[in-house]
């Protein structure tokens, strides 16, 4: 697991107040929404803010979200390719 994967998991746990959840409990390929981690639309807004605040990435096309926020792996890939900080 890369540092970015771990960092992302820590940020998500903290930002979304996932109390009682450990980094090791989130799989890299686990779905973040729906049956996986069970995040919802308000969490999606928080993740958009997280991308901009921590990595300087502004999502211009909301339709991208579904693909980017599929899992920790897809988020990390997107961040690696587009980060400005």
Partner 1 sequence: MRKLYINGISSISPQNEAIFKGSTPQQYENNILPAQAQDYKSLLQPMMLRRMSKGVKMGLFCAKKALDEAEVKIPDVILVGTGQGCMEDTEKFLSNMLESEEGLLSPTSFIQSTHNTVAGQIALDLNCNGHNMTFTQNSVSFESALIDALLQQNDQNIKNILVGGVDETSNELTGFQRLDGQIKKEGHRNLELYSSQTSGTIISEAAAFFALGSEKLKHSYAEFKDVEIINSLDEKILESRIENFLKRNDLLVSQIDAVILGKNGDIRFDQYYDQLQNGMFSATCQLGYKHLVGDNNAISSYAFWLASKILKEKKIPRIFKLNALNCARPRNILIYNQYLGRNHGLILLQDL
Please report, as ranges, the residues that interact with partner 1 according to CB under 8 A. 15-20, 38, 42, 45-46, 49, 52-53
**Which CB, 3 or 62, lies closer to partner 1?**
62
Min dist CB 62 to partner 1, Å, is 14
The 3-state DSSP class for residue 50 equals: helix
In angstroms, rounded to a whole number, what is the distance separating the alpha carbons of residues 49 and 82?
15
Min dist CB 32 to partner 1, Å, is 13
DSSP class of residue 77?
H
Helix axes 41-55, 72-82, angle to 10 degrees: 30
Min dist CB 48 to partner 1, Å, is 9
**Which CB, 33 or 78, lies closer to partner 1?**
33
Number of other residues whose CB lies within 10 A of the CB of residue 45: 11
């Amino acid at each position: 697991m890369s540092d970015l994967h771990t960092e992302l998991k820590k940020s998500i746990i903290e930002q979304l107040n996932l109390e009682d959840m450990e980094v090791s409990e989130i799989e890299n390929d686990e779905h973040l929404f729906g049956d996986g981690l069970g995040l919802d639309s308000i969490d999606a807004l928080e993740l958009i803010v997280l991308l901009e605040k921590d990595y300087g990435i502004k999502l211009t096309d909301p339709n991208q979200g579904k693909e980017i926020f599929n899992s920790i792996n897809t988020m990390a890939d997107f961040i690696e390719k587009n980060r400005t900080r």
